[in-house]
Amino acid sequence: MVKTLTVIVVLALLAWPAVGQAQTVTVNWTEVYQQIDGFGAGDAFCPSSAGYNACNLTNAQADLFFSPTSGVGLSILRSQVPNDGSCATTCNMNDLGTMTKAVARGARVVAAPWSPPASMKSNGSLLCGGSFGTGTLLAGSYGAYATYLKNYVQQLVSNGITLYALSIQNEPDSCTGNSTYQTLWSAANFHDFILNNLGPTFAAAGLSTKIMFPEPVSTTFSPLANYANTCLNDSSCAAYVGIVATHDYTYAPAPYTNGGKPLWMSEVSDPNPQDPSITSALTYAGLIHTWLAVENAQAWMYWWLIDGDGNSNDNQGLVHTDGTISKRLYMIGNWSKFVRPGWNRIGTSGSSPSGVSISAYKDANGDFAIVAINQSGTDTPLNLALNGFTASLVTPWVTSASLNLAQQEGIPVIGGSFNATLPASSVTTFATTAGSRPEPPTITGVTIH
């Protein structure tokens, strides 16, 4: 027994670099916070780039985006409700292929309209702003539009897709020009439409799809509470609401008390010149951490799976117009591949090293994942202590300038803690599962020099 233990310890020391004076962060199993609903991106407007069509992904592309085993495991696909009036009878849905493949790989589908049909709007146009004027949903069309949205959900069901959530309007505070598909909504509009039309219509049809709102363009430009609280402060209206959602184009999450409803950050990207590097990925890694670990959001989504702005070569997609897969996609996978819908965030304590942010998650079966972001430009030693749970081995998965969500050698957990070195400018997930926590190998008959 003594010889075996010696071999185990020596192997651990050989396999892992010295960590110097590593600071200790403790992960607390019984300090439980919000349930995680997922991570995702959208296919609205069917953007395409070199070799990719967002609304008709190949199996290999669907695996990359949505498979938790062979890809990054995105668990939410955000789609677009047709605005051409077709759902009054039979919806024209051109992304059923991608929806079906996403669902087959364990993802949920949600959807949002950019505009009601033009015939239901005050300006008679799908567009809003500029020469078309302000567009709002006509008061006399509330009932018809609720039926239109119900038809969309039901037709998805007939095609094998159970829509998890339906947003009422994408960015109801945005009405910016002749090329913008949008519709303005006020807090009172949302209240009346949910309470008197959409909620009762969904309930009468027996739909399980959650109603999501208000999805303003940012948390500070148009404060989320300004749109949400009129409905949420009325218990009859709030009873129909399943999710409170916002976008984050100020890149500055703002505290919001969401009336007990799940809080989602459902869209973010940027129009800056193309940057598929770890630099851009770390910017969004910091935002994910803040939304989950500070604001207690339950879901986080990027704007597009695939950049659809032609030759603009910006950062609106996880895959760029030239087909380049950005580090942002792999970075999101540091959460989405491991932290699956239904997991809970758990607490951490202690002082993280400078430039390092840490969050942790668990499921009901004892699986866990610890995500560490190292924003600093140097390798950083870290000690992680497990409080209230244990494992024999954790496996690091690293996204960095040179690695794309790459699995590394396992790290033994000794005495309820383990040491690791976080690569410079990286995101690392330390993962294990209750059913596959291998003990360190017992090696006999071996002489180590």
Which of 162-171, 219-228, 337-346 has the lowest average pLDDT? 219-228
Fold classification of 14-32+344-432 (topology level): Immunoglobulin-like (2.60.40)
**299 touches 267 (CB < 8 A):** no
- One fold for 14-32+344-432 and 38-336: no
- How sure is the predictor about 8, in pLDDT bands with cuts at 50, 70 and 90? very low
b/e burial code for range 242-256 (CB count within 10 A of at least 16 → b): bbbbbbbbeeebeeb
CATH number of 38-336: 3.20.20.80
Q: What pLDDT does residue 10 have?
A: 32
pTM above 0.95, yes or no: no
CA 341 to chain centre: 10
Domain segments of the chain as ranges: 14-32+344-432, 38-336
Q: What pLDDT does residue 13 have?
A: 34
- How sure is the predictor about 132, in pLDDT bands with cuts at 50, 70 and 90? confident
CB within 8 Å of 232: residues ≥ 6 apart: 238, 241, 244, 258, 259, 261
The DSSP line for 242-311 is EEEEEE-TTS-------TTS-EEEEE--B-SSP--SHHHHHHHHHHHHIIIIIS--SEEEEEEEE--STT
The partner residues of 396 in beta bridges, in order of sequence, read 430
Mean of pLDDT over the chain: 90
Which of 256-260, 349-353, 381-385, 395-399 has the lowest average pLDDT? 256-260
Segments in 2-93 forming alpha helices (H):
2-15, 59-66
Is the bond preceding 223 in cis, omega lying within 30 degrees of 0?
no
The amino acid that residue 445 corresponds to is: G
The partner residues of 394 in beta bridges, in order of sequence, read 411
- Mean pLDDT score, 171-178: 83
Q: What are phi and psi of 330, to 5 degrees?
A: -65, -35
3-state secondary structure of 186: coil
Label residue 115 left, alpha or beta by phi (over 0 means left) and psi (-120 to 50 means alpha): beta
Question: 440 pLDDT exceeds 70?
Answer: no
**What are the C-alpha distances in Å from 206 to residues 168, 198, 200?**
18, 12, 10
